Amino acid sequence: MKGALLVAGCTSDAGKSVVVAGLCRLLARRGVSVAPFKAQNMSNNSVVTLDGGEIGRAQALQAQACGLEPSVRFNPVLLKPGSDRRSQLVVRGKAVDTVGAADYFRHRTALRAVVADELAALRDEFDVVICEGAGSPAEINLRETDLANMGLARAADLPVLVVGDIDRGGVLAHLFGTLAILEPDDQALIAGFLINKFRGDVTLLEPGLKQLRDLTNRPVLGVLPYAEDLWIDAEDSLGTVADAPVGRPGPPVGGEWLTVAAIRLPRISNSTDVEALGCEPGVSVRWVTEPSRLAGADLVVLPGSKSTVTDLEWLRRTGIADALLDHAARGGPIFGICGGYQMLGQGIEDDVESRRGFVTGLGLLDLEIRFEDPKVLSRASGSAGPIPVQGYEIHHGRVTRTGDAPLLHADDGSAEGSVRGSVSGTHWHGVLESDEFRRSFLTEVAQRSGRTGFVVSPDTSFAAVRAAQLDLLADLLEEHADVDAIVSLIENGAPQGLPIIHV
């Protein structure tokens, strides 16, 4: 088996990332040498790779589905939005510029070469490469600079499978319209459709599927059911909706629940850090955006941010900052991660991201931060007492002074993070995925919150939950998609002579 496929989507969050992960897992289980590829990603959910760069979190999950370690090769261009108009440009894992739309335009020739080189190298090394598009290929206003959708498909002669989210409504129109709005040479590579998140009786949908095929002469190669258990490693912040639960926790082992309020910052980064908490039986995690939602929470998590100073101002403007201070004054546990950790300190000197100079922090930790270039990018490991902990670092902030006890110690013996009473934090992302550390941490939270009936599960494995989700994705495709037809596209490309839709 040899070839490649591009999975595009009618919209962001249509299911491209999970379909790619599922196809990668399915093929890997069949013994195929397969790799994921996303030419250009826009996401603040990223992870540090073994080769010392950062890529989108979804591509790290897709790599795991293939049985591979994350690599910058799988996501050579990453845009990390810091505001509505400007994003940090990361190329082959390293930040090279901060760009707006006009700035990005001048980078396009060099980036197109980077993308082409990486994809060609992957296709030489692996039997199959499953590519993921970005946003929608129907964004014709961006077609000239497109690196990840039809621009990539045309350059590499890739067959394209378009995914539509029926849960949003209007999926048949979305699929037809996505095809019809494209120029003829782009349409010629659209080889089929896949419908995602279907609920109910599929026979009711079948007349529409037949009409879509009659109109386009392209098949719907699967209707995937809505699966509530699929939620780990969200592609971007669209999955972090205010008041939405994180995960599907089982009933408590003991007699009481723990409630966690995770602050949904406007420029949240690595929102996936709280997902390990959502795996724990008896732990209810919700995203919150207003101070009233902190009332009664046993734990408040302040996650990372791509725009730390701006998001700190948002905390104050919304009243959440005061609610955090009240929560801490009552002895309530607060845990900050990366940018959230920095906000908990005495102050931040920022002449890099916001260029605001010195900004006063929340003052809950005796900690001072200065932002510097270059960005810290590293995999991290250490311990909290006898408990092993692993994580990774992606940040400009350096600790210039701390008067608090450390939360962790790195393997080299250096102190990391801070603990002051019920308030703690760390620059390390991913620490809550370390099972022993998470259990110890939740046990302490329960004690401080007076939840004497809460008992932490002794055997929850976050890695096992993540692996089970990948297998579930592959199982759904095996059962509900025409895998043989998808394999044929990978091996043979888009059929010749597909009709062009004129509008």
Residues designated catalytic: 338, 429
| Residue 82 CB partners (closer than 8 Å, separation 6+) | 88, 98, 267, 306, 307, 353
3-class state of residue 382 by DSSP: strand
* Distance, CA of 72 to CA of 55 (rounded, Å): 6
- Reported in sequence order, the residue ranges of 112-229 that DSSP labels E, i.e. its strands, are 128-132, 160-165, 190-198, 220-225
Q: Which helix (H) or strand (E) holds 336?
A: strand 334-337
* Distance, CA of 24 to CA of 405 (rounded, Å): 44
Asked whether 35 and 55 are in contact (CB, 8 A), the reply is no
* Distance, CA of 258 to CA of 282 (rounded, Å): 6
Nearest alpha carbon to residue 381 among 389, 393, 372? 389
Q: Facing residues of 418 across strands?
A: 425
* Distance, CA of 460 to CA of 481 (rounded, Å): 31
* Distance, CA of 486 to CA of 159 (rounded, Å): 10
Q: How far is CA 56 from CA 19, 36, 303, 391, 447, in A?
A: 16, 12, 17, 16, 36
Cα-based torsion angle of the residue sequence 44, 49, 52, 54 in order, rounded to the nearest 10 degrees:
-20
